[in-house]
Amino acid sequence: MSAGFEATGRVTLRPPRLVMRLARLGSLHQCRLSFMRVLLRRLQREGWQFTRPVFDIDARGVGSAVYSASGPARTYSLVCFAHDLPPEQRSDRVIASAWDSTFTLFDGVPSEDDIARLAQNVPKQEAGRVTSREISLSRANRSVRLFEHVVASLAAGRQPDLERIEAVGYLMRTTAVYGSGKFGAVDREGVAARPEFAAPFQAEMLSVFLIRAFTLDLAEHLARARAPETAVRIAPALRRRFGVGNSTGLGLAPFIVNHPVLFNNWITAREKALARVRSLDGAGGIEVGRFCEMLARARLNARQWRSEHPIQIAKLKQLDTDLARLEAHVGSGVLREPAPWDGLYRWAEENLSLEGCEQLVSLLLEPYGDLVDDLADAMSADEAAAFWIDGAMELGRFQAIVHDVYGWALECDWADPVNIARVWYVSEEKLEPRLGERFEEPIERFEQPLAPGRDAAAMHRDIEAWAGEPSVAAFLLHHPEHRHIARRAQIAARFPYAEIRDNTISATMLPIDLLRCKLSFFGATHFDPRSDRWVRINMFQNAPFPHELAAADADDWTYPPLPEATR
């Protein structure tokens, strides 16, 4: 059961029992391997070209636009539909039925007929149908408080107020970006062989990258329409401060439980990257300089990161303290010692909170692109290959796996209502995943299989009592209720970071931990929980825009720039 634990140098990978806890996963930060960064590095390396062949939007903000991105082999086009949404219809909930703008990523350059077909379907989102020519489907709502301020300022010939921009960070929030065959779109297999989509979620990230350009163009367009005489464009430096917001509810949480091999590959890549850096014998001056710069920028990022949620406010306060301590510790000269990064990590594990410790993990990768960026190529997964149960496995060996992966669960009291308080279920309303209270709502019969710990403990008990042929095949023929968890256990034996080593249905579980973990791999910043199961984030803030990408540093934007005076 040591698959994936090969030493990448002196330092081995951190064990799953340390990494795969909800509190730690809920403290992850974006890093070099995050999917937005992987995308922009590729777009720049390959010299992608960006055009806006259609921008047909009226003074009220209604119409359509097309943004095309052309790489070495193919062109993709974001088809945008802008609407005039009455304020009372604006909702971030996935169950909404109208949005300020709707989008699809088209495979190629759409003809007028394509745009006419899409105009009949894309604005309806889940209630419409797209085809295998489309790769993603998404929508966004304006940030009312910022959008109007920006349009009014520009129309009056002024730049919008920096403080107001920073308080929100985006003009529009997406509420879903669907891909992988949803609502008739092309299946993942249909595009997975294309190099530009080899890393996970690249089509979705490309969609959001182009949506960001659209939101700024739309605001400038509306300002010009409102006051053609006086309107100005946003200053380029200020423009960069805008990202795309995203509001994410529980829908993402089951994803990482339902895709164990994929999840394993994400975590494995990050852990290997960490082990490679920790294994270095020394740190050069350039690398130390880069690390210190990024640490200072991470402190700035932490201070700009706003949240009204008490849990996140406490975590941010701790993060700020942690980063101050980290700066002081680094300043004491520890990076001149042998194996400096390993020493620094060990110090952090002893002295910092999970927020600070995982922020350091991300920062350690920053100076070492040449050493770690190739790991992004291994973050996708052939899930079908690991799906089928090995029925020939002998039960003794299988029980050893269960002990290894689910040891924590075998010690848990699953009769205690606190430990089984929650039920994951799917609502008939837009098939939205939800979390309910087992002992307060009539929902248990709709329970989704998202409690691996509880299920493994039940299977373990039945195997102990099993007196038949000692094979997985024979046991499962008589206990079909355990087929689901048996599959997971066998997957986790081969993929050590596949399984969360924590209770996903306890009364104290925080769904936002799962959401943040996934969103950090996307490359999101400024996680702002709106409740324990709903989080807002910012995407591509400070990144170059498509037209700037060729001349800009494509991978130096995830932490805010330092003020000029301190550089």
Partner 1 sequence: MIVSLNEIEAMAKRATRGAGHAWGFAEEAGKAARWLAGHGLGGAEQLAALLTENDGAAYGELVPISGDRVWRAGSGRLSPLIAGAALSDRASEIAAGREINIGPIAFPLLLAPYAAAAARLTGATFELTWAGVEIILAPGGVAIETAGSALTAPWVVSVRCRRSGRTVVVRPAGTGATTVDAGVWSQLGALAHRTYAPASEASRIAGAGAGLTDND
- The contact set with partner 1 (CB under 8 A) reads 87-88, 90-95, 129, 131-132, 141, 143-145, 180-190, 247, 249-250, 384-385, 387-392, 425-429, 431-432, 434-437, 441, 443, 446, 449, 472-473, 476-477, 480-484, 486-487, 511, 530-534
Q: What are phi and psi of 392, to 5 degrees?
A: -75, -10
DSSP per-residue string spanning 524-552: -EEEEEEETTEEEEEESTTPPPGGGTTTS
Burial class of residue 427 in the structure, from the number of CB atoms within 10 Å of its CB (0-12 exposed, 13-18 middle, 19+ buried):
middle
CB-nearer residue toward partner 1: 66 or 261: 261
State the minimum distance, in angstroms, from the CB of residue 542 to partner 1: 22
- In the block, tokens 């029992």 appear at 17
Is the Cα dihedral 151, 152, 156, 159 positive or negative?
Answer: negative
State the minimum distance, in angstroms, from the CB of residue 189 to partner 1: 4
Whole-number Cα distances in Å, 267 to 104, 242, 447, 554? 29, 29, 27, 24
Q: At what angle do helices 483-494 and 260-278 cross, to 10 degrees?
A: 20
CB atoms within 10 A of CB 105: 27
State the minimum distance, in angstroms, from the CB of residue 110 to partner 1: 18
CB-nearer residue toward partner 1: 245 or 544: 245
CB-nearer residue toward partner 1: 283 or 509: 509
Q: What are phi and psi of 110, to 5 degrees?
A: -70, 140
Token digits of residue 63: 């119409």
State the minimum distance, in angstroms, from the CB of residue 529 to partner 1: 9
What is the rounded distance in angstroms from the CA atom of residue 8 to the CA atom of residue 437? 44
CB-nearer residue toward partner 1: 508 or 531: 531
Cβ neighbours of residue 102 closer than 8 Å, sequence gap 6 or more: 80, 81, 83, 122, 123, 125, 138, 139, 140
State the minimum distance, in angstroms, from the CB of residue 203 to partner 1: 14
Token digits of residue 356: 């600070």
The one-character DSSP state at 118 is H
Ordered alpha helix ranges (H), 240-279: 253-258, 260-278
CB-nearer residue toward partner 1: 308 or 564: 308
CB-nearer residue toward partner 1: 86 or 285: 86
State the minimum distance, in angstroms, from the CB of residue 183 to partner 1: 8
What is the rounded distance in angstroms from the CA atom of residue 219 to the CA atom of residue 151? 6
State the minimum distance, in angstroms, from the CB of residue 314 to partner 1: 19
Q: At what angle do helices 483-494 and 395-410 cross, to 10 degrees?
A: 90
What is the rounded distance in angstroms from the CA atom of residue 118 to the CA atom of residue 357? 46
State the minimum distance, in angstroms, from the CB of residue 75 to partner 1: 20
CB-nearer residue toward partner 1: 233 or 494: 494
CB-nearer residue toward partner 1: 31 or 94: 94
What is the rounded distance in angstroms from the CA atom of residue 535 to the CA atom of residue 532? 8
What is the rounded distance in angstroms from the CA atom of residue 538 to the CA atom of residue 327? 26
CB-nearer residue toward partner 1: 81 or 170: 170
What is the rounded distance in angstroms from the CA atom of residue 381 to the CA atom of residue 262? 5
Our CA dihedral for 130, 68, 194, 126, rounded to 10 degrees, sits at -20
What is the rounded distance in angstroms from the CA atom of residue 325 to the CA atom of residue 319? 10
Residue 508 and residue 473 in contact, taking contact as beta carbons nearer than 8 Å: no
The one-character DSSP state at 471 is B
CB-nearer residue toward partner 1: 44 or 180: 180
Count of residues in the chain: 567
State the minimum distance, in angstroms, from the CB of residue 254 to partner 1: 12
CB-nearer residue toward partner 1: 246 or 268: 246
CB-nearer residue toward partner 1: 10 or 145: 145
